Amino acid sequence: MTPMLGMFTFVFNLIGLVICIAGLTLAQRRGKYRQTRWPGYTLAGLGFVVATTPIWIQGLLVQ
C-alpha cells in the first residue's frame, strides 16, 4: 500500500464512519409524526460505501 493510499484510507474511513452513524441516528429518531426510516438507512449505506472505497480502489489497482 502506498503512503498516499494509506492516508486516503484513514480519511475515507473516518468520513464514512461519521456518515454511517449520522444515518443510523436519523433512522432511529421518531418525532411526533410517523416518519419513514429509509432516508437514515440510505445515508448509513452511503457511509458504508464511502468507508469501503479505498478497499475497492486497492483491489482494482492490484489487477
How many folded domains does the chain comprise? 1
Domain around 13: 3-62
Mark 9-46 as b/e (b = at least 16 C-beta within 10 Å): beebbeebeebbeebeebbeeeeeeeeeeeebeebbee
pLDDT computed for residue 13 by the predictor? 92
pLDDT computed for residue 47 by the predictor? 95
Name the pTM for this structure. 0.78
Segment-wise mean pLDDT, segments of 10 residues, the chain, 63 residues: 77 94 86 73 94 86 72
pLDDT computed for residue 17 by the predictor? 94
